[in-house]
Amino acid sequence: MVLQNQLVIAIGVFSVTYLIIMSEKLNRTAVAMVGAFLMLILNVEGQEQAFSHIDFNTIGLLVGMMIIVNIMKKSGIFEYVAIKAAKMAKGEPWKILVAFSIITAISSALLDNVTTILLIVPVTLVITDSLELNPVPFLVPEILIANIGGTATLIGDPPNIMIGSATGLGFMDFLVNLAPVVVVIFIVTMLVFKFLFKKQYNCEDHNKFKILQMDENRAIKDMVLLKKSLFVLGFTILGFILHQSLGYESATIALFFASVLLLISKVDVEDIFLEIEWPTLFFFMSLFILVGALEDVGVMEYLAEKLLSVTKGDPFMSTLLVLWVSAIASSFLDNIPFVATMIPLIKSMGAMSGMDIGPLWWALALGACLGGNGTLVGASANVIVSGMLSRHGHKLSFMDYMKVGFPLMILSIIISSIYLTIFYV
């Protein structure tokens, strides 16, 4: 009877919390925290057990990377690279877009997507302003590429961090299994923009001259800090590549090098900690508690049973189901709570059926990360760009974005389906 009450309460609290987060009427972190601690107040589980659900590897990895990026961006490296690229493109709008898309893809593979967007958008706005062009045809591909690039690595997008941490899959596992398909999706996406929107990338010759007059050296704010940051980032990436063979968790690598950079960069530590995205971290921790409570009362096992009865344990069906459901759901919902819910569900499916769930993790990563491209609310990066554009007097409506984003998202999922079918199932 007690267990049944706990089951009803856990499902009730989780569903209401999820619905309120989806409605976006209230702050998502505050809602998730209330939901998480309601699980404790209503005795679904005790504090010790609830806190044991928090994946501190995910949290540590996020904190470490936030510290490294916050220090690194103070050096002006990003503006330097962007101006240099725009000048190498000789001010040609299409070539600039290609260069910025490559920078965005690489950055979002190594940093998180939101950070990448916050770094590339200001530079793009300055460049399009100089070229006297509408920034929207530049920023929409950048949104898509940020989400696509982030799919390629363990640290590129929060769903991958969560999947990696929950499964033990390392940096190289993600790179080897996801980077090939991500490169294909990147090229196809750029070709679509090249052929369907080419008229948007023309400008007057005198405006190209303005780009050539820019001085990339002026963007460097602190050369010493720049060298230290690049040095530490290089070692951090090397650490991620080797972390499994060295026997370290990814958070250990990120936090160690973040603390080294804090020490040697001589930046104001308090300032750097002020810029850490605490609401994001508490959102993650609350979701871990919420999903952990559902897991403890047996909901995940029940759902896995139902899912297995639909797919009959067939790896092909299961993989495609996870891929497409994740993609469509992540187009409209926040992919972080979705992935937090799917991880224990897939684990239960594996435990109950004995099937190889390896391909399901890649399907989940591809679906959840690429699905964010479907609509304007699909990923944080999309919402941020829309807000920044409106502050600059440009409008990117939900429908305007969806007309481009949704078909391209579907195209990327079709490519992913073919890739998974050929290589995994």
Partner 1 sequence: MNAEVMEHTMRLRQMGADVQVINSKMCFVVFPLEEFDVAYCYNVNKKGKYFLERIKPYPLALREFDKEQDAIDIIEIDLEQFKNAVKSHNIEAFIEINKRLNETLMKFEDLFLYYNVPKEETDIISIQLDQIDEEIRKTKETAKRVYFKKNPEHL
Whole-number Å distance between alpha carbons of 130 and 124: 10
Shortest spacing between CB 379 and partner 1, in angstroms: 16
Measured over the CA atoms of residue 227, residue 233, residue 239 and residue 241, the dihedral's sign is negative
* Cβ proximity to partner 1, 263 vs 274, nearer residue: 274
What are the CB-based long-range contacts (under 8 Å, 24+) for 24-28? 24/377, 27/279, 28/283, 28/334
Shortest spacing between CB 281 and partner 1, in angstroms: 17
Task: Provide Rg for the chain, Cα atoms.
Answer: 22
Shortest spacing between CB 133 and partner 1, in angstroms: 16
* Cβ proximity to partner 1, 268 vs 305, nearer residue: 268
CB 164 within 8 A of CB 170: yes
* Cβ proximity to partner 1, 38 vs 111, nearer residue: 111
Q: Which residues bind partner 1 (CB under 8 A)?
A: 73, 76, 79, 118-119, 121-123, 125-126, 214-215, 218-219, 221, 268, 270-271, 274-275, 384, 388, 391
* Cβ proximity to partner 1, 24 vs 129, nearer residue: 129
Structure tokens, 219: 């963007």
* Cβ proximity to partner 1, 166 vs 388, nearer residue: 388
CB 132 within 8 A of CB 91: no
Shortest spacing between CB 197 and partner 1, in angstroms: 24
Q: Which of 189, 203, 173 is nearest to 102 (CA)?
A: 189
Shortest spacing between CB 113 and partner 1, in angstroms: 14
Q: Which residue has the tokens 């299961």?
A: 318
What lies within 8 Å, CB to CB, of 358 at 6+ separation is: 424
Give the DSSP per-residue string, 293-361: HHHHTTHHHHHHHHHHHHHTT-HHHHHHHHHHHHHHHHHHS-HHHHHHHHHHHHHHHHHHH----HHHH
* Cβ proximity to partner 1, 53 vs 73, nearer residue: 73
Whole-number Å distance between alpha carbons of 265 and 262: 6
* Cβ proximity to partner 1, 286 vs 386, nearer residue: 386
Angle (CA) 87-91-94 rounded to 5° is 115
Shortest spacing between CB 126 and partner 1, in angstroms: 5
CA–CA distances in Å: residue 345 to residues 32, 211, 276, 291, 349: 20, 51, 31, 10, 6
Shortest spacing between CB 27 and partner 1, in angstroms: 17
Q: Which of 170, 56, 157 is nearest to 365 (CA)?
A: 157
* Cβ proximity to partner 1, 271 vs 356, nearer residue: 271
Q: Which amino acid is at 164?
A: G
Angle (CA) 67-73-79 rounded to 5° is 160
* Cβ proximity to partner 1, 28 vs 74, nearer residue: 74
Shortest spacing between CB 121 and partner 1, in angstroms: 6
Shortest spacing between CB 88 and partner 1, in angstroms: 17
* Cβ proximity to partner 1, 354 vs 393, nearer residue: 393
Shortest spacing between CB 338 and partner 1, in angstroms: 26
- φ and ψ at residue 132, rounded to 5 degrees: 55, 45
Angle (CA) 130-134-137 rounded to 5° is 120
